Amino acid sequence: MSEQRKVALITGSAKGLGKMTALLLADSGCDLIINYVHSKNEANDLCERIQAKGRRCLAIQGDVARPDEMRSMVRKAASEFGGIDILINNAGPFVRERKLFGEYAQEDIDYLMNGNLLGVMQLDHLVLPMMRSRRWGRIIHFGFGHAAEARGWPHRAVYAAAKVGLVSFTKTLAVEEAPYGITVNMICPGDIRGANKEKTIAEVEHERDPESPRGRPGAGEDIARVIAFLCEERSDFITGNIMDVSGGLDPIRAIIGAQAGKQ
């Protein structure tokens, strides 16, 4: 990071991958804005950990699928910190239960699209003027493995459609904002589950994962360290990229292969 301390806003960062990213960015010299919906206690605990590192930190409640809450969050962040330099769009609703598209309720479709595509675009739109004024910014979107190929994902139709739309938006925004010193990239995590989202690489590197071509499960640090690299001052030539951080796992092909084997 440069000598001027950067301010990073991470949505959905009280737990999981967002939490690991917040801790690593704090170690890199950033002040943090922690966003949460329900996990108030976890968000406050994380703020205390970050403040103990000598960084400023603020926890703000808000649902990325609700534009009025995002506007309020950005206003509060700008008032407390003077602006936002780094935006990590980590939050995004995902339904682990497998459903055919015809089984979704209309409100479920709206919520998934708002949370994974429209809400991300709207939050980017709110933050871009601050980044442009400083002629520096880092925006990170989240996708899923092989999202850039725009393949179908059975039983994940709405989520996949939203994230694939975000792929195109990522590439477009990267080109439009490059003259302002703003980079825009997408991270596509592998299937990192449960407690592993908050583990370091050292904590999982000796475990076996038979589904992973790499042979070990993924950890939160796998994702956080790539994001931290993209947010560095000298990473300004890396933009518009869709990066799989998955250990080689293709989640869609694995599911389709398993289904074919049952026929």
Domains located in the chain, CATH noted:
7-262 (3.40.50.720)
Q: How far apart are CA 259 and CA 252, in angstroms?
A: 11
DSSP state of 148: G
Q: How far apart are CA 65 and CA 54, in angstroms?
A: 32
Contacts of 57 (CB under 8 A, 6+ apart): 26, 31, 32, 33, 34, 46, 47, 50, 51
Q: What confidence tens digit (pLDDT) does each residue in 12-68 have?
A: 999 999 999 999 999 999 999 999 999 999 999 999 999 999 999 999 999 998 899
Q: Which amino acid is at 149?
A: E
Q: What confidence tens digit (pLDDT) does each residue in 47-57 have?
A: 999 999 999 99
What burial class does residue 64 get, using C-beta atoms within 10 Å of its C-beta: 0-12 exposed, 13-18 middle, 19+ buried? buried
What are the structure tokens assigned to 263, written together? 């026929």
Q: What confidence tens digit (pLDDT) does each residue in 102-144 have?
A: 999 999 999 999 999 999 999 999 999 999 999 999 999 999 9
Closest to 33 in 3D by CA, of 53, 52, 61 = 61
Q: Is the pLDDT of residue 215 over 60?
A: yes
Q: How far apart are CA 106 and CA 243, in angstroms?
A: 31
* pLDDT grade for 253, boundaries at 50, 70 and 90: low
Q: Is the pLDDT of residue 222 over 70?
A: yes
Closest to 188 in 3D by CA, of 133, 236, 140 = 140
Q: What are phi and psi of 150, to 5 degrees?
A: 55, 40
Q: Is the pLDDT of residue 86 over 90?
A: yes
- Look at the pTM and tell me if it is higher than 0.85: yes
Q: What is the mean pLDDT of the chain?
A: 91
